[in-house]
Structure 1
């Protein structure tokens, strides 16, 4: 009985408009959950709905108070979910093949797009195959890389095998960078298209820099504010941020460390870096001010498929120090709007931070180029790419 109301909602609202597409989007994470998948997917879906496409969102119910949205040309099917180990605020959707077949038989979408590869995503793939619906997918999370940070590195090969089997059953898998496309292609993944993430430059921009925020952090004009944004978890390589900060302090640099975000690693970080500011979970508005009010964004993660925080920092006018991987490779021009550290050597990362902060002019010069360097990464242009892919897949699947 749980799905009766959502199926009724589907029948009433899931109607095409003119030549627009009916798109069923399957995801196991969605705002107000705070993570890169939920936030970037929601931005994209908003853009597509504004182009008059009819959106049907299928996702796990986040809590007992969660109710399906009812809007013109927008509907939701909420299904049961199970908390993910180490990520209790996120859910894995239960297998729901029968429910999806029933829903999509009542009102047939033109395309099914699967954003996450969990049990719900797999159910959607199987249901779409039964109904002969075209399917596209996203590769958004390096689960195979995360496994080694939780003592189950031996699972990496089976995870890659599962992901390859999953994505190769779709007509197109969207990946955020050319480097990831090459890596996945070498592992046997097929039908890959590069679609970058976007940034909302109306929210993230240098004008958000705030004297009041810096005062709240108790820093002076000549203090170099170091910022880290994201989930506080083992796979984010946060110990290197602490080591970098401590090395800068020991060398006599006047620095302040800010962590925006929360997670299971917070308690350890507070012990290792007690003088840092821990902002906890932040809204987009709070993050925009934090980015712009900082002087150097530290991003040492090696497990990202993209790393939207890199894009947000640059749009906010803050240069980035990152390893030469994921989005950083394509967004950062070394010694222009930030700095790239080759390989995975933590000592080289620390040495580069020491070099950057030797003179305040180095950071100020890089700051002049940050926002302009990511101006083309606007969500409107990203939505153009995705819309083109969707139409191409639908046409190829059913030329008539």
Structure 2
């Protein structure tokens, strides 16, 4: 069985979409699939290419000045057409609604190959964060158009599936809510009840971008420190993105708090350790279709402080595996941080609840479901063509 994956983001770039797509490819290969990935090439800013991989095709691409990690493989549709003709995929998967995903969609339709799509990101809700709310309806129209003829649309949460249903889309499957509980796990021998004997470590992991609302976390951290002036605490921010400079400046103005920007970290080695050494995870985004980092934090045994919106609402259980606060409410976020800081027994109980939640989200079972789903798509396509 052959799968052509057309994606605009893939490692070494690290974000939720690239991570899930790479895990998908790796898992399907272990199950006997022959997978070819088509992606934009990396730029000249020093981002390294991954080791040589004959199963990854990199297209010439240019960066978007406002968000350099976004690479557009313009005028390369002919390359995707050639790959379909040479590789003869049984199914084409379009992982993103951007340039390479669009090429895959169009060329699969031209060649009569069944194609599937993923809906990972609610770009229509991003428009307000980026200062262009008037673009929400056009973006929704594009999402509807992109996915409407797909043999199956994979999306990682019930809420995201419902959003797509509201746009009139069908053939929707909730998939991709997995986490590697062997890679991300609590640190052996770390006693969270002793957190008051050292600086308490709050942690954020993710892109530094307007839609993530990290400003709220910085302000909540300052408010928490003001409430507990004699308690040492730190907020570690892991990740990179277009908002880094503005966030660094905002943090610098909070002279009484310790906020460290650690940049992007290696997912296999550094990130599991960073999760495991923290005491609580904080998150403020209300636009997630999944919130993969929230599941990773739970797998590492971190109580999560987050707003129960979108896909996060399907994992976060208030006072069971974390603490919920209303979207955009800095004061309530600080209340939750203060409780996490001062209530050691609750912290231990929530940490155990977080780990238990993650253990119910095995990647192996998700990948098995995906294998079956692709085979169903292929069988249906062959039946419709009388094969």
Give the TM-score normalised by the residue count of structure 2.
0.89
Are 1:288 and 2:272 an aligned pair? yes
The alpha-carbon distance between structure 1 residues 210 and 277, as it changes in their structure 2 partners (threshold 3 A), is farther
What residue in structure 1 maps to residue 353 of structure 2?
369
3-state SS in 2 of match to 1:398 = helix
Pairing 1:1-400 to 2, within 5 Å after superposition: 21-63=1-43, 69-71=52-54, 75-207=55-187, 221-252=197-228, 254=231, 255-274=233-252, 275-284=258-267, 285-399=269-383, 400=387
Contact 1:136–1:173 at 8 Å: present in 2 too? Answer: yes
Give a deviation string over 1:91-125, Cα, whole Å, max 9, x none: 12224333323332233110000001112211211
- Output the CA distance in 1 between the equivalents of 2:210 and 2:309: 18
3-state SS in 1 of match to 2:161 = helix
- Output the CA distance in 2 between the equivalents of 1:235 and 1:209: 36
Contact 1:209–1:293 at 8 Å: present in 2 too? Answer: no
What residue in structure 1 maps to residue 255 of structure 2?
none
3-state SS in 2 of match to 1:206 = coil
Displaced runs of 4 or more, over 4 A: 64-71, 208-211
Contact 1:208–1:316 at 8 Å: present in 2 too? Answer: no
Give a deviation string over 1:185-206, Cα, whole Å, max 9, x none: 1122222110033222221100
CA RMSD of aligned residues (A): 2.2
3-state SS in 2 of match to 1:333 = coil
The alpha-carbon distance between structure 1 residues 228 and 106, as it changes in their structure 2 partners (threshold 3 A), is closer
Instruction: Using the TM superposition, give the Cα deviation of residue 271 of structure 1 relative to its aligned residue in structure 2, in angstroms.
Output: 2.9
Contact 1:24–1:111 at 8 Å: present in 2 too? Answer: yes
3-state SS in 1 of match to 2:287 = coil
The alpha-carbon distance between structure 1 residues 209 and 76, as it changes in their structure 2 partners (threshold 3 A), is same
- Output the CA distance in 2 between the equivalents of 1:130 and 1:343: 44
Instruction: Using the TM superposition, give the Cα deviation of residue 209 of structure 1 relative to its aligned residue in structure 2, in angstroms.
Output: 7.1
What residue in structure 2 maps to residue 18 of structure 1?
none
Q: Aligned residue pairs: how many?
A: 370
- Output the CA distance in 2 between the equivalents of 1:332 and 1:392: 32
The alpha-carbon distance between structure 1 residues 252 and 369, as it changes in their structure 2 partners (threshold 3 A), is same
The alpha-carbon distance between structure 1 residues 369 and 297, as it changes in their structure 2 partners (threshold 3 A), is same
- Output the CA distance in 2 between the equivalents of 1:290 and 1:210: 13
Give a deviation string over 1:130-173, Cα, whole Å, max 9, x none: 11100000011222222222222211111110111000121111
- Output the CA distance in 1 between the equivalents of 2:335 and 2:154: 36
- Output the CA distance in 2 between the equivalents of 1:43 and 1:200: 10
In structure 2, stretches of 5+ residues that fail to align are: 253-257
Instruction: Using the TM superposition, give the Cα deviation of residue 28 of structure 1 relative to its aligned residue in structure 2, in angstroms.
Output: 0.9
- Output the CA distance in 1 between the equivalents of 2:297 and 2:227: 26
- Output the CA distance in 2 between the equivalents of 1:44 and 1:95: 27
- Output the CA distance in 2 between the equivalents of 1:209 and 1:133: 52
In structure 1, stretches of 5+ residues that fail to align are: 1-20, 212-218
Instruction: Using the TM superposition, give the Cα deviation of residue 329 of structure 1 relative to its aligned residue in structure 2, in angstroms.
Output: 1.4
- Output the CA distance in 2 between the equivalents of 1:101 and 1:272: 47
The alpha-carbon distance between structure 1 residues 320 and 67, as it changes in their structure 2 partners (threshold 3 A), is closer
